[in-house]
Amino acid sequence: MQAVFGTNWKMRNVDQRTAQQYLITLADGLGGLLDDGVQVCVLPPATLLPAMSEVARKTSIRLGAQNFHWEEEGEYTGELSTALLKDAGATILMVGHAERRVLFNENDEVINRKLLRALEEGFHAILCIGEADRLTPEAHLQEELSAQLVSGLRGVNKADLNRLIVAYEPHWAIGRRVDAAAPVTRVKQSVEAIRGALKTIVGAENSVRLIYGGNVNLSNCREIASVNGIDGLFVGGAAADPAGFVSVIGRALDGAPD
């Protein structure tokens, strides 16, 4: 299974030159890892995509969008369609991020519609799932994660699953409002639950990649990435500068099983 690493810039105010320079430094820092098939994606604010795609197209780094509308086009003021994002240079789209679920009230039905649209339009897609509460007991954890997968993946064509990445991002472990990643024991429980649910929903031989996100940093990346069943990491704050992202990827791969 190919390792995959992503970073979500959220609503950080980055100018176009800095964004381009980020990609140049990232590609230089990763060097041979990109040639070896490690997949890396960057999800900036959508306005940066055209400038960044001038640089990204010379590399295998994928650019993506953090949000979009599920309809093809129309009277949806303020929204962006998949066609607009494709034209701007995005090849991967994210759905279900905790901040969209919690702050913008996106429910499982909306997330499912978006995922179907993204896959139908030929994009790669990241489906974020995760429990809301740190104290969720293990039995409920399985139920919650599996319910999010069942509704998120409703109607997805099995042939499209090789373009799908599931990101396990417990809501309580994301962002600067909290200061710690989920403990490895919790990551293990969740990965087992997610892999089990995927087996039931889409079959044993599924090609879905699974990554962890939520306060990943240089100190915890190796341990989390080496959890059985994890294919990579989704990094926010620790990838704000490209050298930091390169270090996290390098260290994570050091400890990950082949």
* Spatial separation of the C-alpha atoms in residues 126 and 118, rounded to whole Å: 10
User: Is the CB of 115 or the CB of 174 nearer to ligand PGA?
Assistant: 174
Residue 26's nearest CA partner among 47, 9, 10 is: 9
The answer to whether 216 and 242 are in contact (CB under 8 A) is: no
Give me the catalytic one of 97, 124, 131, 144. Answer: 97
Nearer to ligand PGA, 44 or 214 (CB): 214
**Residues in touch with ligand PGA (CB under 6 A):** 8, 169, 174-175, 213-216, 234-237
Extract the tokens encoding 3.
């390792």
> 26 near 42, Cβ under 8 Å?
yes
Smallest distance from ligand PGA to CB 249, Å = 14
Active-site residue 72, yes or no?
Answer: no
Give least dist CB 167 to ligand PGA, A: 7
Residue 97 a catalytic site member: yes
Handedness of CA 187, 192, 193, 197 (dihedral sign): positive
Choose the catalytic residue: 99, 106, 144, 169.
169
99 vs 102: CA distance, rounded Å? 5
Q: ∠ CA 27-168-198 to the nearest 5 degrees? A: 110
Q: Which is nearer to ligand PGA, 103 or 159 (CB)?
A: 103
The CB-of-251 to ligand PGA minimum distance in angstroms stands at 15
Three-class SS state of 132: coil
Give the nearest residue (CB) to ligand PGA: 236
What is the token pair recorded at 40?
């890396």
Smallest gap from Cβ 170 to ligand PGA, in A, equals 10
Closer residue to ligand PGA (CB): 81 or 111: 111
Closest approach of ligand PGA to the CB of residue 169, in Å = 6
**Spatial separation of the C-alpha atoms in residues 191 and 207, rounded to whole Å:** 15
Amino acid at 173: A
Closest to ligand PGA by CB, 81 or 167? 167
Active site (catalytic) residues: 97, 169
